[in-house]
Structure 1
Amino acid sequence: MRAALESIEKNQASIHVEVEEERVAEALEQAYRKIVKKTVVPGFRKGRVPRPILEARLGKEVLYQEALEILLEQAYREAVIETAIEPIDHPEIDVIQMEEGKPLIFNVKVEVLPEVKLGDNYKGVTAVIPEVKIGDDEVEAHLKLLQQRHARLVDAGDKAIDDGDVAVIDLETVVNGKVEQRLSGKDQIIEVGMAKFIPGFEGHLIDMKAGERKEFTLNLPSVFQYKDLEGKEAKFKVKVVAVKRKEYPDLDDEFARDVSEFSTLEELKEHLRKKLEETGQRQARRIFKERVVAKVVDDANVEIPEPLLKRQLNLEYSQFLQRLAMQRLNMDDYLRMVNKDKEALQRDLEERARRVVKTRLVLGAVAKAEGIKVTPEELAQEINDMAAQYNLDAEKLRADLEARDQIGAIEEDLLMEKVSDFLADNAVPLTEPENRQDETEAEVQDAQEGAAAEEEQGKDSGEGPSA
């Protein structure tokens, strides 16, 4: 087979392809064997009709069409490899010649990846890296979290319920004249002040004591875990079975030994400080990497192909709708909340899609320029990690991903991460300016808040208060 790249204009490649007559003859024979099995001709057993009679009865065009389907896909793939183009859309194929005893000739037009002009200094860009400072107050705050998570529930006797107490109640909820079992039950645990149940419910428990009963009515939220109950009026019948209070352990060496592998409280504090610093450093590195990539992308020039933009925009819109569904919001509610119209939302999504596409094109160009690739071992490790995360068999997961044609997407994500790391490793970090300190502290705060949760893993298995 011969494939000649004739031109690339405005990201559209034109290829001229010729397939040898021997392959055309073989494809026609395959087409005959396939069609004859499905054709019934009087006087012949099924599958035994001679080819000339089959052609006379159905017409040669039927065989030619079937042969084209056999040849075109494979020949197109070979042409892509031979001409080293990178298609991003479905090809337009124009068949010039398809005759027995002659080569198959066709032309292809297909959209390809555009040329990316990288900035002169994509290796060596400067970006601010957040400074991680862990103060004593942050260590103490995380120590308090550990203390709260290891609180015990003790009976408060005839104490009146107040914020911070835990009420054990028997609850009956009536909606539309019927007991709603999903919102009813014996010995229900309500931590007063945490607002984890129905808005306004906990306020009715304040000042109640063990053994007391109360009835009251509330409207269920307009966004609720049970969609069929949203906004409906509910009548609650409550009996307080018991009132419990939290008893916190003293922050001393014994506490350190109970919740960790350390012998003293000071050792535990030092461990927490190190975990906070490690988490903060990881977050600072992520922020730095994002800033570096943003600069490299901003410094590059590339024309965004319409097929890629449309594909990404569809993905952004689909993910946006999924997020709304998870929050039990509809489009109109969301637009009212953010004070936007549909046109403004569309512009926002399109801008995000454009940025995502440009970033991937630029990082892909860096990967080519620097010879960065994902190795089979790295891909296998990523799939093994995914399997471990979801408690799946790695081989079965890989087979499923291959069947759904998702291996390429995982490999591309790994490549983008490797290129981002490469750019960050070759960038020049700058000290945080004074006027950006508050912004940086806000950026790293979330990561630091997760350090205590990491500490809970190990000796403590994340147990909550125990009665």
Structure 2
Amino acid sequence: MGRKAYGFDSRRPHKKQKFFIRKIALKITQTLRDDHQVELTVEVEAEQMEAAKRRAARKLSERGKVPGFRPGKAPYDVVRRHYGDEAILEQALDILVDEIYPQALEQEKIEPAAPGSLEKVEALDPAKLVFLVPLRPEVKLGDYRTLRQAYEFTPPSEDEVEQSIQALRRMYGTTQAVERPIQIEDFVLIDLVGKKVKPKDGEDPIVAERKGHAIYIAPEPRENEYPYQGFSRELIGLKAGDKKTITHKFGKDVEDETLRGATVAYEVEIKSVRGLQLPELDDEFARMTGIADTLSELREAIRKDLEQKSRDDYDDRYFRDLLEKIKAGAVIKYPPQLVEMEIENILEDLKERLAEQRLEYETFLKIREMDEDQFIETEVRPAAIRRLERRLVMDELVEAEKIDLDLDALQNEFDQTWEALVQGNEAFNRATNGGAKRPSNLVQAVMLDVTSRMLLQQTLERLKDLANGRVEEQESRPKKGTTKKTKATAEIPAEGTETNSGSADEPAEAKPKKRATTKKAE
């Protein structure tokens, strides 16, 4: 299998040739394109073309059989008569592409961002090869240090802490049959038949029929409640054995087309009612949860956990908004190949998460009522562009702010992360023999992840200080540190990917990504 040379994706191995033609300066014309790519038109000298043809003829004779000659020993003219000039020319162009493309990049001092491609052979006498080269991204940050955005996090209130404690009590609660009327937090079993009030001619009026359907009377309305949001509240006040007809008119925007604009009468019979019995709020309950030994310790643990989650959510919104402001003042250029790579990464990650939920990608698309092309264009591509631009801006910010990592802190975080993976990831545990072995690929992946997270955190903290005026202008450009700088890609937290809702955007990851390849044009 051929490897990439200078970003060019060729079908042929890029190995040192035994009989290399004399390297001479190439005649190259550059044409910049609006999509941050450059066309290199390379004119092939007659000497190069002739040498490539003879080497091509030798290769053809080595692979095939020329009557009367051993493999690779047939004279050039004999090979021409046997295979034809067209076959020799095609092989010669392959040889020239593999040799000229890296030489052209070196001569023009171009570092491609992704594999290039041979767009066309413009002429043959002399031969002109037209290569398309994706250029490395360019980011010019605006005056982001003058941006201001107040950081105004408010810790959860005592009411919110109390709500979390009550939710925990419900989790450890038990149910028992009751004869009283239904109330909030009860579990109800019903028989249900729903009929359209005015069905169309020939249409089956029954739209719902369930026996022994369980319903929880939730304290708050639920979006996915069956058969419609708010239905369970209609049962409050009824008792076991009661019957009731509930009429509901559906809107014209409901997901089920057969119910759009329809009025449905639901005949309900209450089969049983079970009330929720909550445990006493005391030290015994605290021990029951396994979180704390006393009620006061439980309350404090819940408060800290709630505050951390609340702060994480606030930080995600805060930094996303701040980065959008920074991005709005920046000039970002990148070739389209990088977006395609990001799309590939998002789809790969999405499929992995779906597999963990035992859901096939094709089934996911059917649930979304989309084909793959539609899903990519409407959801994945916009998400890929946002992710790519955020990452490019963050990379530039890391460089601009000269973020340094303390190597001792980096090693400590690596050790903690490694141990956490050994203890919490079964596949990782097996691959490392319980942490005893450290395969180089896993070490590199974990180190990249740790480095990215630490760079990200330090960069975000500096941006927050700048945005809140806590860094004086003369100090906004940090002095050169004494610690060794560790470079890695850092990404801003992105909108969360939920496979249930099918959002294509996702938290940016620090793990190595596969790079897409551009098929070589013939």
With the length of structure 1 as denominator, give the TM-score of the two structures.
0.57
Structure 1 portions without partners, runs of 5+: 331-344, 397-409, 434-445, 448-467
Instruction: After TM superposition, give the deviation of residue 192 of structure 1 in Å.
Output: 3.2
Deviations 1:253-308 (A, max 9, x none): 22211123312111111111222233344345444543553454344345x46747
Q: In structure 2, what is the Cα distance between the partners aligned to 1:104 and 1:385? A: 59
**What is the letter of the counterpart of residue 128 of structure 1?**
A
1:309–1:353 contact (8 Å) kept in structure 2: no
Q: In structure 2, what is the Cα distance between the partners aligned to 1:59 and 1:75? A: 24
Q: In structure 2, what is the Cα distance between the partners aligned to 1:393 and 1:22? A: 53
RMSD: 6.2
Instruction: After TM superposition, give the deviation of residue 135 of structure 1 in Å.
Output: 3.2
**What is the letter of the counterpart of residue 133 of structure 1?**
P
Aligned position for 1:137: 159
Instruction: After TM superposition, give the deviation of residue 201 of structure 1 in Å.
Output: 4.6
Q: As a proportion of its length, which structure holds more helix?
A: 1
1:360–1:416 contact (8 Å) kept in structure 2: no
Aligned position for 1:423: 459
Aligned position for 1:255: 285
Q: How many correspondences in the alignment?
A: 383
After TM superposition, the structure 1 = structure 2 runs for residues 139-158 of structure 1, keeping only pairs within 5 Å, are 139-156=161-178, 158=179
Is the partner of 1:246 in helix, strand or coil?
strand
Change in 2 beyond 3 A, CA 1:386/1:240: farther
Aligned position for 2:226: 197
Instruction: After TM superposition, give the deviation of residue 198 of structure 1 in Å.
Output: 0.5
Change in 2 beyond 3 A, CA 1:183/1:3: farther
Change in 2 beyond 3 A, CA 1:301/1:245: same
Q: Aligned match of 1:160 in 165, 181, 185?
A: 181
Instruction: After TM superposition, give the deviation of residue 69 of structure 1 in Å.
Output: 3.7
Q: Aligned match of 1:65 in 87, 90, 93?
A: 90
Is the partner of 2:155 in helix, strand or coil?
coil
Is the partner of 1:116 in helix, strand or coil?
strand
Q: In structure 2, what is the Cα distance between the partners aligned to 1:74 and 1:394? A: 45
Instruction: After TM superposition, give the deviation of residue 89 of structure 1 in Å.
Output: 8.2
Change in 2 beyond 3 A, CA 1:80/1:255: farther
Q: In structure 1, what is the Cα distance between the partners aligned to 2:78 and 2:147? A: 72
Change in 2 beyond 3 A, CA 1:22/1:253: farther
Aligned position for 1:56: 81
User: Does residue 240 of the first structure (1) align with residue 270 of the second (2)?
Assistant: yes
Deviations 1:323-368 (A, max 9, x none): x9799689xxxxxxxxxxxxxx99x999998776654444444566
**What is the letter of the counterpart of residue 459 of structure 2?**
L
2:155–2:311 contact (8 Å) kept in structure 1: no
Is the partner of 2:215 in helix, strand or coil?
strand
Is the partner of 2:292 in helix, strand or coil?
coil
For structure 1, which segment, 65-74 or 132-141, has the greater mean C-alpha deviation from structure 2 after superposition?
A: 65-74
Q: Aligned match of 2:131 in 108, 114, 124?
A: 108
1:173–1:236 contact (8 Å) kept in structure 2: yes
Aligned position for 2:320: 290
Q: In structure 2, what is the Cα distance between the partners aligned to 1:78 and 1:147? A: 71
User: Does residue 209 of the first structure (1) align with residue 239 of the second (2)?
Assistant: yes
User: Does residue 184 of the first structure (1) align with residue 210 of the second (2)?
Assistant: yes
Is the partner of 1:130 in helix, strand or coil?
coil
Q: In structure 2, what is the Cα distance between the partners aligned to 1:221 and 1:286? A: 35
Instruction: After TM superposition, give the deviation of residue 129 of structure 1 in Å.
Output: 2.6
Is the partner of 2:239 in helix, strand or coil?
coil
Change in 2 beyond 3 A, CA 1:235/1:280: closer
Aligned position for 1:275: 305
**What is the letter of the counterpart of residue 264 of structure 1?**
T
For structure 1, which segment, 306-315 or 206-215, has the greater mean C-alpha deviation from structure 2 after superposition?
A: 306-315
Q: In structure 1, what is the Cα distance between the partners aligned to 2:423 and 2:265? A: 46
Is the partner of 2:182 in helix, strand or coil?
coil
With the length of structure 2 as denominator, give the TM-score of the two structures.
0.52
Q: Aligned match of 1:85 in 103, 106, 111?
A: 111
Q: In structure 2, what is the Cα distance between the partners aligned to 1:385 and 1:230? A: 50
Deviations 1:148-196 (A, max 9, x none): 322321110x33334442212345678965988x9534x3311135552
**What is the letter of the counterpart of residue 68 of structure 1?**
L
Change in 2 beyond 3 A, CA 1:146/1:211: same
Change in 2 beyond 3 A, CA 1:421/1:292: farther
Deviations 1:396-419 (A, max 9, x none): 9xxxxxxxxxxxxx9999998776
Aligned position for 1:265: 295
1:262–1:268 contact (8 Å) kept in structure 2: yes
1:164–1:191 contact (8 Å) kept in structure 2: yes
Q: In structure 2, what is the Cα distance between the partners aligned to 1:22 and 1:421? A: 56
Change in 2 beyond 3 A, CA 1:223/1:260: farther
Change in 2 beyond 3 A, CA 1:326/1:126: farther
Q: In structure 1, what is the Cα distance between the partners aligned to 2:165 and 2:395? A: 45
Q: In structure 1, what is the Cα distance between the partners aligned to 2:420 and 2:32? A: 43
For structure 1, which segment, 85-94 or 145-154, has the greater mean C-alpha deviation from structure 2 after superposition?
A: 85-94
Change in 2 beyond 3 A, CA 1:78/1:143: farther
Is the partner of 1:242 in helix, strand or coil?
strand
Q: In structure 2, what is the Cα distance between the partners aligned to 1:386 and 1:223? A: 46
Q: In structure 1, what is the Cα distance between the partners aligned to 2:186 and 2:469? A: 44
Structure 2 portions without partners, runs of 5+: 1-22, 197-202, 351-361, 371-376, 405-410, 432-445, 471-494, 497-522
Q: In structure 1, what is the Cα distance between the partners aligned to 2:398 and 2:263? A: 60
1:223–1:329 contact (8 Å) kept in structure 2: no
Aligned position for 1:403: none
Q: In structure 1, what is the Cα distance between the partners aligned to 2:312 and 2:169? A: 26
Is the partner of 1:275 in helix, strand or coil?
helix
Q: In structure 2, what is the Cα distance between the partners aligned to 1:327 and 1:222? A: 20
Q: In structure 1, what is the Cα distance between the partners aligned to 2:104 and 2:468? A: 51
Q: In structure 1, what is the Cα distance between the partners aligned to 2:210 and 2:103? A: 66
After TM superposition, the structure 1 = structure 2 runs for residues 338-357 of structure 1, keeping only pairs within 5 Å, are none
After TM superposition, the structure 1 = structure 2 runs for residues 356-371 of structure 1, keeping only pairs within 5 Å, are 358-366=389-397
Change in 2 beyond 3 A, CA 1:220/1:413: farther
1:174–1:236 contact (8 Å) kept in structure 2: yes
2:116–2:132 contact (8 Å) kept in structure 1: no
